[in-house]
């Protein structure tokens, strides 16, 4: 009973994560390590967000719509788990823990090239956008002690790549500049996972506490922006592309996951999680961007706590279902235009059908994304994002190999 219920809960609570704090996507879950025997697991989530807002025009002061800024994305997960001995388990997990895929309307004020606003032709026409991708492979071990206790530890290899454009950057310089963009190379670096767990199978109880270390990437990058590179008679400015290569350190943050479950009645499982992420550790300040604006390209003021609570029920020997509620409190401070939401609440439904060697799970989640005030061209020109949401669906297959 508890295994089938847990599969429905894992999918509903984890595979369809939509918009947790910062760039969080997968939640870095490790429930696979608790499967019995040897199993292979495949999971794929798909999220369709609806995020839009308005910002006053820099010329007229009238509201300008951002368009739908957040693109749809997938959250894949692959895993293999086996028992090396009666005491020692091993799992290999692939996921994409962090990501962003944002682009704004060409008419949006922050998508306007600073030199174009100054009336100079020949400028780039890129929009305000950001795309960041991470891929992580975690090798995880679990050693079981007496009394239901176990220790967890492992190594995580993570690959990070990003591309960002901020066309308005440099408008306040003398002379004005604009059309800023940065593209990084892919960088692979390493971190670790440690944790403890306690189980009591008789009541389907488990508590697991895991710590994910920060991972520091030293990103090689190419920055460029439009600038006045010369004057032609009779005094007409010539716009050209300037820039250079450099490297900048960026950290994906440390985090702590607390996961729990327990049977509360026949065929009924209560489960939930708390996730803390130390987002102020994540600072990205490429040198040309900071010289143009005096600010970092990416930074966060506050850490985040994300909560989930669910109830699962086994309707038959083959089918189990679950409902999950999720919540993340808002920070009530201006957020980045590259992630213009602030907190959320969500509800998800999931189900698992058990075959002889396979368990097939499916789930759907609705997320109400919190209203946000985003940084603008100044305190009087900030953007407002309200009424936003996301739908997520997912499927998971866990196949017993022995």
pLDDT tens, residue by residue, 63-99 = 999 999 999 999 999 999 999 999 999 999 999 999 9
Tell me the residue range of the domain where 190 lies.
2-400
Tell me the residue ranges of DSSP E strands in 145-289. Answer: 149-166, 178-184, 187-200, 205-212, 215-232, 236-252, 255-265, 268-277
Q: Scanning the structure block, which residue is given the tokens 């692979």?
A: 188
Q: Does residue 166 have a pLDDT over 90?
A: yes
For 35, the token pair is 């499967």
Average confidence (pLDDT) over 207-223: 98
> What pLDDT shows up at residue 90?
98
Percent of the chain with pLDDT over 90: 72
Q: Which residues contact 159 (CB under 8 A, 6 or more apart)?
A: 134, 135, 136, 186, 187, 188
Percent of the chain with pLDDT over 70: 93
Helices (H) and strands (E) in the chain, counts: 3, 22
Q: Does residue 12 have a pLDDT over 70?
A: no
The CATH number of whichever domain residue 227 belongs to comes to: 2.40.160.60
Average confidence (pLDDT) over 287-292: 94
Q: Scanning the structure block, which residue is given the tokens 């895993």?
A: 79
CA distance 16 to 75: 8
> What pLDDT shows up at residue 14?
47
Q: What average pLDDT does the structure give for the chain?
A: 90
CA distance 137 to 135: 7
How does strand 187-200 pair with strand 319-328? unpaired
Say which DSSP state 286 is in.
Answer: -
> What pLDDT shows up at residue 234?
85
Average confidence (pLDDT) over 312-341: 89
Q: Which residues contact 265 (CB under 8 A, 6 or more apart)?
A: none
Task: Count how many domains the chain has.
Answer: 1
Of 170 and 10, the one with more pLDDT: 170
Polymer length in residues for the chain: 402
Q: Does residue 15 have a pLDDT over 50?
A: no
Q: What is the pTM of this model?
A: 0.93
CA distance 300 to 279: 6
User: For residue range 95-132, what is the model confidence (pLDDT) as tens digits?
Assistant: 999 999 999 999 999 998 989 888 888 899 999 999 99
> What pLDDT shows up at residue 199?
96
> What pLDDT shows up at residue 377?
60
Residue 221 has phi, psi (to 5 degrees) of: -150, 160
For 257, the token pair is 């996951």
């Amino acid at each position: 009973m508890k295994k089938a219920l847990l599969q429905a809960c894992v999918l509903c609570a984890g595979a369809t994560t939509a918009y947790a704090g910062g760039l969080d996507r997968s939640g870095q879950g490790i429930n696979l390590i608790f499967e019995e025997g040897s199993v292979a697991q495949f999971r794929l989530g798909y999220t369709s967000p609806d995020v839009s807002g308005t910002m006053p025009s820099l010329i007229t002061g009238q509201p300008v719509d951002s368009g739908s800024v957040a693109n749809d994305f997938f959250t894949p997960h692959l895993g293999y788990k086996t028992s090396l001995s009666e005491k020692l388990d091993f799992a290999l997990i692939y996921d994409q823990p962090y990501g962003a895929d944002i682009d704004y309307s060409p008419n949006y004020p922050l998508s306007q090239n600073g030199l174009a606003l100054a009336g100079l032709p020949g400028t780039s026409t890129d929009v305000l956008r950001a795309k960041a991708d991470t891929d992580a492979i975690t090798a995880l071990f679990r050693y079981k002690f007496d009394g239901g206790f176990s220790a967890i530890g492992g190594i995580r290899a993570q690959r990070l790549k990003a591309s960002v454009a901020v066309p308005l950057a440099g408008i306040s310089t003398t002379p004005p500049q604009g059309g800023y963009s940065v593209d990084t190379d892919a960088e692979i670096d390493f971190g670790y996972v440690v944790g403890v767990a306690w189980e009591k199978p008789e009541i389907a109880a488990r508590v697991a506490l895991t710590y994910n270390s920060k991972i520091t990437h030293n990103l090689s990058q190419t920055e460029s922006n439009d600038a006045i590179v010369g004057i032609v008679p009779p005094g007409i400015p010539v716009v050209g592309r300037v820039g250079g290569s450099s490297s900048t350190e960026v950290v994906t943050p440390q985090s702590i996951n607390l996961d729990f479950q327990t049977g509360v009645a026949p065929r009924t499982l209560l489960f939930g999680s708390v996730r803390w992420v130390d987002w102020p550790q994540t600072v990205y300040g490429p040198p040309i961007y900071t010289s143009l604006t005096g600010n970092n390209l990416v930074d966060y003021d506050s850490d985040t706590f994300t909560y989930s609570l669910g109830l699962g029920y086994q309707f038959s020997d083959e089918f189990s279902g679950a409902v999950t509620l999720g919540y993340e409190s808002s920070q009530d401070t201006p957020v980045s235009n590259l992630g213009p939401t602030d907190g959320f609440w969500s509800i998800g439904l999931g189900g698992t059908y058990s075959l002889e060697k396979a368990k097939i799970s499916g789930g759907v989640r609705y997320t109400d994304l919190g209203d946000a005030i985003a940084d603008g061209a100044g305190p009087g020109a900030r953007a407002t994002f309200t009424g936003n949401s996301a739908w997520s669906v997912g499927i998971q297959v866990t196949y017993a190999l022995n």
